[in-house]
Amino acid sequence: MEYEDLIHRCFRCGYCKFTKDYGDFNCPSYRKFGFETYSPGGRMWLLRGWLEGEIPGTADLAGIFYSCASCGNCRERCVMNFREDLVDIFTAARTEFVEKGLTPPAVRDYFRNIQLSGNPYKLPQDKRGEWAAGLEIKPFKGQEYLFYAGCLGSYDDKGKEIAQKVAALLIGAGFDIGILGNEEHCDGNDVKVMGEAGLFQLLAEKNIAKFRDAGVHKIITLSPHSYNVFKNDYPNDQGAFTVMHYTQAVSAALEEGRVSFGELDTKVTYHDPCYLGRHNEEYESPRKILSSIPGLSLIEMERNSQDSACCGGGGGNVFTDILGGGPESPARVRVREAAATGAEILAVACPACARMLEDALKAEEGLEKRLRVLDIAEIADRAGINQKA
């Protein structure tokens, strides 16, 4: 296994479980399950035990590895020299589970759906572009930017609403964008993280070929997952394309004075998506957009920025739900944390976070009346988008 030479070096000291000030546990699976096995150190020791034949490869063992949300908190807090490799070590472990046929059924079905239908929902490819029907947005034909919606933005109900608002926001901010619609393919971020290296390679090849054929050079993504995988994992010979998350694009437009917002008198707390924040260190752009809305009061949660709590949807869990629900699920803990700030809106910048947190809100009695989960683009839409010349 890749990284096999590193795994015995974990001391299992537990720094990886914490926030920066040690005030709270911030590993989503350890916090939820409580057993040492669900901590990053526990996984390192289990992995070694499994590879050395001390414990069997069971469905339970695979479940422990697939309950990891790949949020990157462990990489942030580990004190050892191999910290940068931690998330990749767990991805490599999941590749081992794939190769040995030990993937949990939900993961197996996810891969199968991507392979056969091109998306996790088993929906037809010719429905992929439907989210944009009736909108001002055009198919990509040499515009400056490709707006990439991804699977959640194309098929999930909440994701589609967000994709529509993000497209409107980008157009309002003066971006010349087009979409691939039914010709778009899954970005493969979660496929890669779940360990299906071959399928990921196939998706990357398809997307790159499509970008090249269509003449795409600049991409703006709806999802931080897409942003992450295009930026960090796709082969990008000679910088054939550049990629931005939509909050980065809008933040730049704000800086250039190309857009402003109307007034919105509300209290908002912002939830950092792991693939924008910890994985790509983008904490400022979303806050800059929210702070630029007159009347909007931005309140931080206890766990924010590098210490942000994961919604529990990473590592494919938004589709597979191996991390699971219940009152102590990361998403339900997070919406309670958001409500405790007194905010009326829990702002997100990721359709996976939106899906996880909105579902969690429904499960928390009485919270739906006090708090709403809205993407930053939806908040901007409510405030009103003023395009400047």
In angstroms, the CA 380 to CA 366 distance is: 26
User: Cβ of residue 61: shortest distance to other proteins, in angstroms?
Assistant: 6
Residue 366: partners with Cβ closer than 8 Å, 6 or more residues away: none
Minimum distance from residue 84 beta carbon to other proteins (Å): 14
Check binding of 13 to other proteins (CB under 8 A).
yes
Q: Is the Cβ–Cβ distance between 384 and 261 less than 8 Å? A: yes
Mark 24-63 with x for binding to other proteins (rule: CB under 8 A) and - for no binding.
x--------xxxxx----x--xx--x----xxx-x-xx--
Q: Which of 136, 206, 127 is nearest to 177 (CA)?
A: 136
Backbone angles phi, psi at 374, to 5 degrees: -135, 140
CB of 287 vs other proteins, minimal distance in Å: 22
Instruction: Let me know: does 55 contact 102? Beta carbons within 8 Å.
Output: no
The angle that helices 330-340 and 351-363 make with each other, rounded to 10 degrees, is 80
For other proteins, the closer CB: 30 or 147: 30
Cβ proximity of 328 and 32 under 8 Å: yes
Length in residues, the chain: 389
Smallest gap from Cβ 8 to other proteins, in A, equals 4
Count of residues of this chain found to bind other proteins when the rule CB under 8 A is applied: 35
Residue with smaller CB distance to other proteins, 75 or 245: 75
Asked if 22 interacts with other proteins (CB under 8 A), we say: yes
- 8 Å CB contact between 221 and 241: no
Give yes or no for residue 15 binding other proteins (CB under 8 A). yes
Shortest distance in whole angstroms from residue 346 CB to other proteins = 23
Residue 64 binds other proteins (CB under 8 A): yes
Nearer to other proteins among residue 7 and residue 346 (C-beta): 7
For residue 177, the cross-strand partners are 145
Minimum separation from the CB atom of position 224 to other proteins (A): 28
DSSP annotation string for 167-212:
HHHHHHTT--EEE-GGG-----HHHHHTT-HHHHHHHHHHHHHHHH
To other proteins, the closest distance from the beta carbon of 81 in angstroms equals 7
Q: Which of residues 71-110 bind other proteins (CB under 8 A)?
A: 79-82
Residue type, 271: H
Of the two residues 37 and 292, which places its CB atom closer to other proteins in the complex? Answer: 37
Encoded tokens for 227: 């942003």
Tell me which residues touch other proteins (CB under 8 A). 8-15, 17-19, 21-24, 33-37, 42, 45-46, 49, 54-56, 58, 60-61, 64, 79-82
